Structure formats: C-alpha cells, structure tokens
Structure 1
Amino acid sequence: MYVKMNGKEFHFHRVRIDLLETDIREPFRFFDKKTIRDLLRHNRYQHLREKVMNEYEEILDVPAGPALYNLKKKNDPFYKEFLNNYGDLAYCQFVVKGNETLLNKKGVYTIIMNDKIVFAGICNNKFKLRFNQHIGNVSPKSCFRDGTATHCHINSKIARHILDSNIYFQVCPLNDLEEMKSVKNWLIDRFEPLWNLRFGSDVIYTYN
C-alpha cells in the first residue's frame, strides 16, 4: 500500500500479528509498585482524595492493584475511578512478525481490519518495541488513569475482533517527527479510522 501526499509517495509494508493469548482480564490487579496513598499524590487522582480519606481509609496503604481488585470483587464500582476509560476490558497478547529491518525503524503505522484502515498512529521509537511490548501486551500500569489509555483501547479492539477478522499492521518508516504527524493526520482526515478516538464520543487522546 502507498499513499500520495503533496506529491510524495509514502509506502506502507504489511506486518502480521501472531496471537499468543486472548481473554486476558483485569491486569490492573497486578500493579503493586504504588499504594493508593501514593496514587493520590498524583494530579490525575487529586479529585478522589477526599472520598478515599472519608470512606476508604483502610485501603490507603494497600498496593493499588490488589486494593482495586478487592473493591471490584465486592461489587464496589469506585475502583473504576482509578482506571482509564479502557482499563478494565478484555485484552489479548500478541507479537508482530515481519521484516526485522523495518520493525526496528520508526514512523507511521496503521491497523487494517478486513481491508479497511481502523487506526492510524505514529511511533517515535522502534515499531517492534511499540507493538510487542506496549500495544500487544497491556501492562498493569497502563490500565490506570496515569497509564496509557491508547494501548488499552487498541489492544481491547484487537482482542474483540481478531478471532473473526483479518487484522494486521502496516508500517511506513520515517525519521522526521513532523512528517510523521502530517502523514498520520492526512490518513485520519482521509479515511476516518473507526478506532481513532477523535471520531468517537470519548475523551480525545494524542497518539504520539
């Protein structure tokens, strides 16, 4: 695949997904590097401080993941306040396979599902690192408010559709960050990918 923008062609190369596991649930429960008290010091959680101090004081010094998981098991929806909008969904684990030279570059990538672009983003690091260690493997910390909502969102979408759809990545190696942003924005404006949140009713995130 290639796209032509401002008289220049940008070539995209297919990268296949090797699915390792599906239906991964509640990875947030394994986050034990900070307590609830530690989280409340962060700006993203300041609005929760008063309620925790008044109603949940007993969990203040409990590791955050286990504390929230216990609340969920008690059917207390307050646990969700510490997670991003996509922090408690069904996920999958996968790695990508393809040309190693390409995968060790950076640039623009798309996700294709049943021959349609459903997501466009930029990677200012190695594609392989972004796909295998981040999007393809949702970490416990990613699920939190100060985690990476994008990775949770995209992984959950792939998990939902990969067993009955043809899904793969395409990568376009580029070195200039501004050029990456221009190509990504052109793709979004031209194809309106369904998984790019700017076309939904959710909070808009920047996919850098």
Structure 2
Amino acid sequence: MQLYWNIQELTFEPVEISFKDEVSTNHFARLRPKSLAETIAKDRYNQFEPIVIEKYNEYLEWNIGEFLVYLKENGDNFYMRFLNQYGDLKFGTFRIEDKRYLSKKGIYAYSIDGEIKYIGRCLDNFQKRVNNGYGRISPKNCYLDGRNTNCRMNNLIIENMKQIKFHVCVMDNEEEIKEAEKYLIRKIDPSWNIQKY
C-alpha cells in the first residue's frame, strides 16, 4: 500500500495479525483484587460513594468486578457508571509476530476491503502498540481511569477479525511520524479515527 506525505512516498507493508479464538464479555469483571469499598475511595470514583452507601452498602466488601456483573445481570445500569464508554464491549486477544517489525516504530493502518479504517502512530515499537496495547485488554482499561481507546480499538478489530488487515510504514524520526500521521488522518479521514487533526 502506497500513500503520500510531503511529496514523499510512504510504503505500508502488510503484517499478519494472529487472533486467539476466545472472545470475552464482562471483561471488566476480571479486575482483582479491588473491593467496592476500595474503588469508591479512589478520587475517580468517590463521586459514587453517597449512592453506594445508600443503595449498595451490603456489597462494600464484594470484588468490584463481581459487584458490577451482579448489577448488570439484575438490570441495574448503575454498573456502567464505573466503566468508560467502551468498557462493556466484547474483547479478544491478537498479536503480530513478524520479527522484522516488532521493535520498529512508525505509522500503522488498519483496513477492511482496501478501505483504511484507522491511521495511528507508534513512537516506541509495534510490539508494544499492538501486542500489549490494542491486542490485549487489561480489565483495568474497561474502567473510568483505564485506556478507553485500547478498548474501542480492540472491539472494532475483533468485530472485524475476518476482514481486517494491518499495515506498517517504518519510520525513525519521531517528528516526521507525528506530522505524517496528522497529514494522513486529515487527508483520508478514516472512520475509526476519532481525533481529526
């Protein structure tokens, strides 16, 4: 795949993504070992303390994940207030294994049927960005103080795992990586990119 930036041709190489078969729901429930009481004591969640004390006082010692699943299963949407907007989606695990790219950095793209859906930048290495970021969701990421972009992207990729393609353009200069990403997002306007420069 060839794209252009500042009269420069950028070559995006296809990199295979390996998916695990398991897709999880209620991923937030795997957070351990925090109790409901410990959670509402944190700054990000102490706004919920009055409601919890009034309505859910007998659950204070429950694990936060088990408590939220209990609420969900009983039709109590209060559980969603602890999660970011993508925290209750389906998640899976995927990774890249091609050693030529694991330690490299640059620009990357996800596409479906030749249409670029997402452009991103990687300033450390593709292994961290894909394998440890989007490709493996920590239950902590599902919560208000987690990484909601990781949740959103993992879900989009998992929902499209049969068609999704991953491409990388290896670059070394961090300023060029940032500028090329901004330019490509403005030019292509990929539907999965929320931040439009």
Q: Deviations over 1:43-90 (max 9, x none)?
A: 432432322222222333322212211211222111111111111111
Aligned to 1:188: 185
TM-score (norm 2): 0.89
Residue 22 of structure 1, CA deviation: 4.4
SS in 2 for 1:108: strand
> Would the aligned equivalents of 2:23 and 2:93 in 1 still touch at CA under 8 Å?
no
> Would the aligned equivalents of 2:59 and 2:67 in 1 still touch at CA under 8 Å?
yes
2:2 counterpart of 1:2: yes
Q: Which runs of 5+ in 2 are unaligned?
A: none
Which of structure 1's runs of 4+ aligned residues deviate more than 6 A? none
Q: Name the CA distance, whole Å, in 2 between partners of 1:40 and 1:19.
A: 35
Structure 1 range deviating more: 125-134 or 184-193: 125-134
Q: Report the AA paired with residue 145 of structure 1.
A: L
SS in 2 for 1:102: coil
TM-score (norm 1): 0.84
In 2 relative to 1, CA 172–123 (structure 1 residues): closer, same or farther, beyond 3 Å? same
Q: Name the CA distance, whole Å, in 2 between partners of 1:46 and 1:198.
A: 29
Aligned to 1:32: 32
Aligned to 2:76: 76
Q: Aligned runs of 1:44-193 on 2, under 5 Å?
A: 44-98=44-98, 100-163=99-162, 165=163, 167-193=164-190
In 2 relative to 1, CA 117–22 (structure 1 residues): closer, same or farther, beyond 3 Å? farther
Q: Deviations over 1:163-188 (max 9, x none)?
A: 3x2x1211122334332221111111
RMSD: 2.1
SS in 2 for 1:61: coil
Residue 134 of structure 1, CA deviation: 2.4
In 2 relative to 1, CA 110–75 (structure 1 residues): closer, same or farther, beyond 3 Å? same
Q: Name the CA distance, whole Å, in 2 between partners of 1:42 and 1:25.
A: 25
In 2 relative to 1, CA 60–111 (structure 1 residues): closer, same or farther, beyond 3 Å? same
Q: Name the CA distance, whole Å, in 2 between partners of 1:12 and 1:182.
A: 16
Q: Sequence identity of aligned pairs in percent?
A: 32
